[in-house]
């Protein structure tokens, strides 16, 4: 079975990104390219990374009026990413337009609550209740909006899957038991996240900042 690990290549340096991806390509299921990479390298950079032959998860977290999001995703159609993200908080109409604009075969997933946020952070932006309740609300909305699944922390993925048994669940903030949490506040080990219902796991620094990224990827894969 192909690895459920997508490695987060969060660097603006295209050569470094290609070097990391080249090292780990046999032990990961895909590459996640985010805003940092895309702002520096654009569509050309995404194409270069795709030449390594791994699925591309383009994590740009669109959040704007429905028409703007639809047109932005349409502009990315030639890249044919395996996965694209939008913010579920953008609302149902925005999610519907995002899915309609995406290439056939691209999974469009809704970001629920960023793993860097906790209850206090949510309260500061006017969201009452805890992250768990907000993830459940936005998971239901994403399903109604025709998306393929959601992004949520390992702590909420079981509840999200209960609401959406055939959904596609992306779990970031995944950290092996021996690694540092960094700026993530809601983290889980890869094995626990898979057991809870994750479809794919996003792992960044534990692999990309390891002395030997390939060995780190293999060690995580071995726990699965």
Clarify whether 107 is annotated catalytic. Answer: no
The strand pair at 30-34 and 107-111 is best described as unpaired
Domain 5-222, CATH among 3.20.20.70, 2.20.25.90, 3.40.50.620, 3.40.50.1260 = 3.20.20.70
Domain residue spans in the chain?
5-222
pLDDT tens series, the chain, 224 aa: 589 999 999 899 999 999 999 999 999 999 999 999 999 999 999 999 999 999 999 999 999 999 999 999 999 999 999 999 999 999 999 999 999 999 999 999 999 999 888 899 999 999 988 899 999 999 999 999 999 999 999 999 999 999 999 999 999 988 887 655 555 555 688 999 999 999 999 999 999 999 999 999 999 999 88
CB 87 within 8 A of CB 63: yes
pTM comes to 0.92
Q: Among residues 32, 61, 71, 99, which one is catalytic?
A: 61
Give the residue among 150, 154, 153, 190 at the shortest CA–CA distance from 168. Answer: 150
Name residue, tokens 């290439």: 103
Q: What is the pLDDT of residue 86?
A: 98
Q: What is the pLDDT of residue 132?
A: 92
Own/partner pairs, 127-132, CB within 8 angstroms, 24+ separation: 131/155, 131/156, 131/186, 132/156, 132/159
Give the residue among 148, 167, 64 at the shortest CA–CA distance from 109. Answer: 148
Q: What is the pLDDT of residue 179?
A: 57
CA distance 104 to 204: 28
CB 139 within 8 A of CB 150: yes
């Amino acid at each position: 079975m192909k690895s459920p690990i997508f490695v987060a290549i969060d660097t603006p340096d295209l050569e470094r990104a290609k070097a990391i991806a080249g090292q780990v390509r046999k032990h990961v299921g895909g590459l996640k390219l985010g805003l940092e990479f895309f702002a520096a390298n654009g569509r050309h950079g995404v194409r270069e990374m795709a030449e390594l032959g791994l699925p591309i998860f383009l994590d740009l977290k669109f959040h704007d009026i429905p028409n703007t999001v639809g047109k932005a995703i349409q502009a990315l159609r030639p890249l044919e990413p395996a996965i694209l993200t939008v913010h579920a908080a953008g609302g149902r109409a925005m999610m519907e337009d995002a899915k309609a604009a995406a290439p056939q075969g691209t999974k469009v997933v809704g970001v629920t609550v960023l793993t860097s946020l906790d209850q206090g952070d949510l309260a500061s932006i006017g969201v009452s209740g805890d992250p768990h309740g907000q993830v459940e609300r936005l998971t239901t909305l994403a399903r109604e909006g025709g998306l393929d699944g959601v992004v949520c922390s390992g702590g909420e993925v079981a509840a999200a899957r209960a609401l959406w048994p055939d959904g596609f669940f992306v779990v970031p903030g995944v950290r092996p038991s021996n690694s540092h949490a960094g700026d993530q506040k809601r983290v889980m080990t890869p094995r626990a996240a898979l057991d809870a219902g994750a479809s794919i796991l996003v792992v960044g620094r534990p692999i990309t900042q390891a002395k030997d990224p390939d060995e780190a990827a293999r060690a995580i894969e071995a726990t699965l």
